[in-house]
Structure 1
Amino acid sequence: MSRRSAGFVNTWAEVQRAQQRQVEAERRRRREEDRLARDYERRAAQGHREYRQAEARRRTEELDARVAELQGLLAEGCRAPAFRAASLMRVAEVPPFDPGGLAWPVRMPDQNQYRPQGGAWTAGRRAQAEAEARARFEHDWYQAQAAEAQRQQQLAALQREYEQRAEAQRSEVQRYNAGVSEAAAGVGRGEPELVVEYFSTALYASGAWPDGFPRRLAAAFDPAARQLVLNWELPGYDVVPEAKAVRYIPAQDQDKETARPVTQRRALYREVLAQSVLLVLHQLFAADEHGTLDSVALNGFVDAPDPATGRQTHIFLATVMARRADFTGFRLEQVDATSCLTEALRGQLATRPDQLTAVRPGRRPEEVGGQVVTHGEGGEEPDLYAMDPIEFESLVADLFRAMGMRAVTTQRSNDGGVDVDALDPAPIRGGKIVVQVKRYRNTVPPTAVRDLYGTVQDAGANKGVLVTTSGFGPGSHTFARGKPLELIEGGALVDLLHRHGLRGRLGEGGRPAPAPAGPEGAAAAPADHNVLGLMWSGTVALDVCALVCAGNRVLSDDHFVFFNNPRTPDGSVRTVSASAPDRAAVGVSFDTLPPGADRLVLVAAVDPETNPDADLSGFTDACIRLLDASLNDLGRLDVSDGRAGETALVLGSFRRRTNGDWDFVLGGKGYTGGLEELVRDYGIEVE
């Protein structure tokens, strides 16, 4: 009994020990999991702290770098090469002649490869086989000779075309360089307008100005005193960072900025203004390769609200009159900018520029008596619509110069369709750019884009840019796609001007003016619409219709344009008279299609009254011609032929892309039940 009890106790004890081991193992597992979780959280917290601390250090380094850039503005600017008129010169970079596949002569057949074919057991059969082999050889030889003659003709034509294009490019470069040389000679003669344009270009071409520095000026030249009188915009107080450092506070998990002491910030801003004035003087005198300037009268201003009236105005913070003989002897890399300006040059600099305490400006451009040239000037945004055409072209040239390019406006005549000549100095993407300027209120017609492309080819330019105050339609964008053309609409132009320190607005609202209303309150047909003309072979008479859809559903019955409904409610799609060789046509203004529409479907159906027994087997060799508003051919889109038994056909659909452009997708689905069956697929109920 005792043994059995002992055995039972032992068994029970072993079970208990096993359970205890499991419990302890589970506890160890949980403790290990808790430890790992705590380690992970600690590492995560440490990683988060390290990341935030690194970000704080990075922001502090950026602040230090910005301050260092401002402190070294003058020294860095003096190291930049001086502007020269020769930098505007171009080199005719004519690529070598590339004949492509035409460089290789046509391979002539080898008579040894033409052997008699088949078994020739008799003399007669052998003679016949040999004659057949000679005939094959002679046929292939004459074919090769004809192909070689055609190759040589094509090669000669390609060579002539290349030589004409190369000569046109060389002539254009020579014409441009002659214009630059003549302008430089005019600067040497002291012609006021050319002098101002030349030195304005020198300031705009400089890469010494940090980001955020404005570039606006008004200037005039006094030829009697050989003095350039200039108002130049200076940076505002916010150019100096308000924060001195950034520190991460782990307990609050947030960054804390250490403010820059007011006295330090004010002193640095005053130093930046002095450096800016001296750098402008340095750039002007350094660019004066003809010795045109004896002196420069410079007034530096900021555009800000007048503390007394609250109205936006020019507040002059610095003024100086510097003579060449005095200035060129300075070693600007080593001077204290404020002392140099106020003591050595006896100029004036606001003692509290941060509070807009003004100085009395010296001689102003409007006091010279001649024409004052302004670039981005004006107390308020100038209306681009109301701007003089020549001033508008100059503003566009200023924009290209502010973007780091070399740009000059062309002469009023014999400009070859070019308003601004620009050169992008970038080694890979750069090159010659021809710019046309259209100060329009209505949409620019596609013909202007086509003309620009011809100018790009004639001038041998790398790129053509069309700048307008209005906009472009889909016909223009369709033609420009894949070509070295860039279209800049009014809104984008204003954005570019503001981004590069220049000014301009489009009318009172700052956007392109709306198109005038048509008769009886209906919307007038847009200036830039397309005509979709359909041409085909065969005698079958067809009705060509259009459906304005969202997906595969027409927007409404009124958006199904056919013989009984010739236009949509907004007039964006309408039937129009066809012009030969088209046999039917539809007018479309893609820009004014309803926002909810993402496709325009074109269909064709047999006219049941004219051809009651016909089908689409006679609908062949068809295509859609894409025309602009002046019926100029922009391109052709092939469509599927009709099939026997079918009486209606989906020709294709224009589909809106995410970027606003439209692509054509070929159709081809046919219907035996005519137009009624087709439109049911698009959600139209036919009674």
Structure 2
Amino acid sequence: MSRRSNGLVGVWAEAQRQQQRQREAQTRYQRDQERQQRAHQREIVRSHREQKAAYREQREAEARRRTQELDARVEALQGLLATGCRASAFRADALTRPERVEAFSPGQLGHPITMPDPNRYQPQGGWTAGRRAQAQAEARSRFERDWQAAQAAEAQRLRQLATYQAQYQQWADAQLAEVRRHNAGITEMTAGLRGGDPEAAVEYFSAALYASTGWPDDLPRQVSAAYDSGARQLVLNWELPAYAVVPEAKSVRYMINADQEKESPRPVTQRRALYRDVLAQCVLLVLRDLFAADEFGALESVALNGFVDDHDPVTGRRASLFLATVMVSRADFAGLHLEQVNAVNCLVDGLRGQLSSRPDQYATVRPGRVPEDVGNGVVTHGGDEEPDLYAMDPIAFESLVAELFRAMGMQAVTTQRSNDGGVDVDALDPTPIRGGKIVVQVKRYRNTVPPTAVRDLYGTVQDAGANKGVLVTTSKFGPGSHTFANGKPLELVAGSELVDLLHRHGLRGRLGGGEGSVPAQRSAPDSRVTPGGGADTGTGVPDPDGPAAADDYNILGMYWSGGVALDVCALVCRGNRVLDDDHFVFYNNPRTPDGTVRALGPVAPDKAAIQVAFDALPARADRLVVIAAVDPVVNAAADLSGFSDAGIRLLDSEGTPLDRLDVSDGRDGETALVLGSFRRRANGDWEFVTGGKGYPGGLEELVGEYGIDVD
């Protein structure tokens, strides 16, 4: 028997089917979500991989860029001489200024006032004759009033124009006068150069070196020079770059795992060889610039000593460490093709110069001739107790030299007049290692000692088996003598050096006529400064308690072109550190406590002035640094781009000009500049060294480098 369904089964089945479809839809949704999540994860991974790859490429590119910079630096150092030789030679014409000034530009004052047009003053309205007459009178009154106002304005314009034109003419005349004075000075210098004037020669050839376009800007430019007019020889000390000029790193690579750049060091032997080559190139380039600039035939030869201004590894003190020296004639140098030479071989073998074998360790060489050796002797003043070395009995003179050697800690006796074998004094230096037997010859000459005397001494040294030979003279030595003695166990003592040694060891002696016993300080032209004395100049009244009251001071007058307002300051330093805050002379501290340095009111043509008593500066001070900074109150947004044609006039206390010292021009973005520094030399002289380092951070950044904190 069949039984009919009541429909419950169908309902139940339909419900099961719905649930199944829902489960399938849920499953599909979950699968879609998981698929999307996996796709998203893959996108994240891919993006992270791309970012990581991009980061890695960026770091690797930076490492390659740094390596390329190192390679470019080394290539530039290797081609220093060849590049410098392609630069144009310096000429005196480059120092001449054109005799022209900016044309007069009155601006709006150059345009006359427009007079009123009577045609524009027509009567308005009026129906009757009386009204028309009244309108005409009013129009005429307006015209006359406006015409009188325009006439008054035109008269005022003409007065202002005349005043402005007079001011301009005064300014233009002053500018032209300054240009003509400058050009006259250049003409005088070139005339002196042709006539063998030492000051002109030093000034000109120093300018040639400082203006050289072949000498890289990042290398030092410091020179001390003197000119021997008799030998037509320039003797100079020139600063060479320090060991750091050669990059310590050879290449840079990116370390992925450590996420940092690693520098591969340059092999020590390679770096040392490159530095030695750079020094040789620098010496040859300086010689090239000097001989190329000699358009007047003033140089027969050049004695060049290259030094590095750094700490002496023996004493730890800052010193000039000589790493190269050469004496070369024009004829020998003219035969060189510098762009093709090996610099070291050319300097050492071709020109017979000396170059430090270990310049990286500052192993020094002995200069053959230094600027201090050049001069016309030492002028002395005093009484009759000071013996004239020229007039002294020959035996007494030899005894004096022997006494000098004994005063220097050696054993010394004079020899017999006959059969002395060319030896006047036998000396023995008891110092271990470097001491030994010394043979001394004494030449009481007035003229230059001939090279044959030096050669004879060398033969005597060899025959006697001595450690060293010393030739002492009342005169001087020529370049031939220095060339022969260079690199040999010989020492040449000129008359000026002899007098200095005598006085330093408590002995007495002078050269030629004079009434005193104290040798006057020698000063090489242009860059060597010996402070003078005198009366008050009127540029500032010395305090009675200051050193200036003794009339023993100088005035430093600063001048420059451009309208930017500057604060000129001075720092009394030991090395590169100011002694203390009280030795920083500026607008809020116008003088040092002892009064040796003080700010003065300038006198035209100077725009700033500083008074300095050089000899009275503290004993621990070895530098006076002169700086300039933009006045932020007057020129808040200005920089030193307009600071040009600048210099320092060195005056004595009577206002007499002694020297004119050039300083560097300013540059865009810089607001403070080191103009230069006066440095105390071992003999007590002060030498001016041009500065040029600029600071974008103004006075605060500059003095901070010298140890001063500006609040």
TM-score by length of 1: 0.58
Question: Which one-letter code corresponds to 1:32 in the other structure?
Answer: A
Q: Counterpart of 1:153 in structure 2: which amino acid?
A: R
Matched, 1:256 2:265: no
2-side partners of 1:23 and 1:242: how far apart?
Answer: 62
Whether the aligned pair in 2 keeps the contact of 1:418 and 1:435 (CA below 8 Å) is no
Amino acid at match of 1:76: T
Equivalent position of 2:352 in the other structure: 346
- 1:588-599 alignment runs, 5 A limit: none
When residues 474 and 308 of structure 1 are mapped into structure 2, their CA distance, relative to the original with a 3 A threshold, is: closer
Q: Distance in 1 between matches of 2:259 and 2:338?
A: 46
Quick check: 1:234 aligned with 2:227?
Answer: no
2:337 is matched with which residue: 331, 336, 343? 331
1:25 correspondence with 2:32: yes
Amino acid across the alignment from 1:79? R
Q: Paired residue for 2:52?
A: 45
Aligned-residue offset at 1:187? 2.2
CA distance in 2 between partners of 1:113 and 1:76 (Å): 74
Per-residue Cα deviation, 1:119-149 (whole angstroms, up to 9, x for no partner): x232222222222222222222233233333
Please tell me whether residue 55 in structure 1 is matched to residue 62 in structure 2: yes
Quick check: 1:4 aligned with 2:11?
yes
CA distance in 2 between counterparts of 1:476 and 1:372 reads 36
Q: What SS class does the counterpart of residue 105 from structure 2 fall into?
A: coil
SS where residue 369 of structure 1 aligns? coil
SS in 2 for 1:257: strand
- Superposed counterparts of 1:393-472, under 5 Å: 419=557, 442-444=585-587, 455=605
**CA contact under 8 A between 1:319 and 1:362: conserved in structure 2?**
yes
CA drift at 1:432: 11
Alignment partner, residue 325 of structure 2: 319
The answer to whether structure 1 residue 289 and structure 2 residue 295 are counterparts is yes
Change (3 A) 1:107 1:308: closer
How far apart, in 1, do the equivalents of 2:114 and 2:287 lie? Answer: 70
1:357 maps to which of 348, 360, 363: 363
Cα distance in 2 for partners of 1:307, 1:438 equals 33
Per the TM alignment, residue 434 of structure 1 is displaced from its structure 2 partner at its CA by: 12
Residue in structure 1 matched with residue 82 of structure 2 by the alignment:
75
* Structure 1 residue 154, shift from structure 2 partner: 3.0
Secondary structure, aligned partner of 2:88: coil
Which residue of 2 is the match for residue 102 of structure 1? 109
Closer, same or farther in 2 for the Cα pair 1:351/1:446, shift >3 Å? closer
Candidates 132, 135, 138, aligned match of 1:129: 135
Amino acid at match of 1:72: G
Amino acid of the structure 1 residue aligned with 2:21: E
Please tell me whether the aligned partners of residues 566 and 630 of structure 2 are also in contact (alpha carbons under 8 angstroms). Answer: no
In structure 2, the partner of 1:267 is 273
Change (3 A) 1:211 1:59: farther
Counterpart in 1 of 2:43?
Answer: 36
**Matched position secondary structure for 2:253:** strand
**1: CA distance, partners of 2:129 / 2:112:** 39
Counterpart Cα distance in 2 of 1:223 and 1:200 = 16
1:163 equivalent to 2:169? Answer: yes
% identical aligned pairs: 50
Structure-2 separation of matches of 1:21 and 1:504: 90
- 1:46 aligned partner, one-letter code: A
Name the aligned partner's letter for residue 254 of structure 1. Q
Q: Which residue of 2 aligns with 1:205?
A: 211
Contact kept, 8 Å, 2:558 with 2:609, in 1: the verdict is: no
Rounded to whole Å, the distance in 1 between the matches of 2:625 and 2:328 is: 44
Residue 89 of structure 1 aligns with which residue? 96
Q: 2:152 aligns with which of 146, 154, 169?
A: 146
For the residue of structure 1 that corresponds to 2:114, the secondary structure is coil
Q: From 287, 298, 302, give the equivalent of 2:308.
A: 302
Alpha-carbon RMSD: 4.3
Q: What is the rounded CA distance, in whole Å, between the counterparts of 1:4 and 1:40 in structure 2?
A: 53
For residues 257 and 59 of structure 2, the distance between their equivalents in structure 1, rounded to whole angstroms, comes to 12
* Local SS of the residue matching 1:244: strand
SS in 2 for 1:282: helix
Q: How far, CA to CA, are the matches of 1:312 and 1:124 in structure 2?
A: 103
Structure 1 Cα separation of the partners of residues 628 and 249 of structure 2: 48
Query: What does 1:530-545 align with in structure 2 at a 5 Å threshold?
Result: none
Provide the rounded CA distance (Å) in 1 between the counterparts of 2:68 and 2:289. 30
Gaps spanning 5+ residues in structure 2: where?
Answer: 1-7, 377-521, 534-554, 572-582, 591-597, 612-623, 647-663, 681-698, 700-709
CA distance in 2: counterparts of 1:292 and 1:436, whole angstroms: 41
The letter of the residue matching 1:101 is: Q
Cα deviation, 1:18-73, whole Å, max 9, x if unaligned, reads 21122122212211221111112101110110011001100100100110110011
Counterpart of 2:372 in structure 1 is 366
Structure 1 residue 150: deviation in Å? 3.1
Instruction: For 1:222 and 1:376, locate their aligned partners in 2 and report how far apart those are by CA, in whole Å.
Output: 16
Return closer, same or farther for 1:471/1:368 CA change in 2, 3 Å cut-off.
closer
| CA–CA distance in structure 1, aligned partners of residues 568 and 675 of structure 2 | 20
For residues 563 and 291 of structure 2, the distance between their equivalents in structure 1, rounded to whole angstroms, comes to: 28
The one-letter code of the counterpart of 1:55 is E
Mapping of residues 575-614 of structure 1, within 5 Å: none
SS in structure 1 opposite 2:76? helix
Moved over 6 A (4+): 374-377, 431-438, 445-454, 464-476, 482-488, 498-502
Can you give the 5+ residue segments of structure 1 that lack an aligned partner in the other structure? 378-385, 391-416, 424-430, 457-463, 507-590, 592-658, 661-687
**Letter paired with 1:345:** L
- 1:438 Cα deviation from its structure 2 partner: 6.8
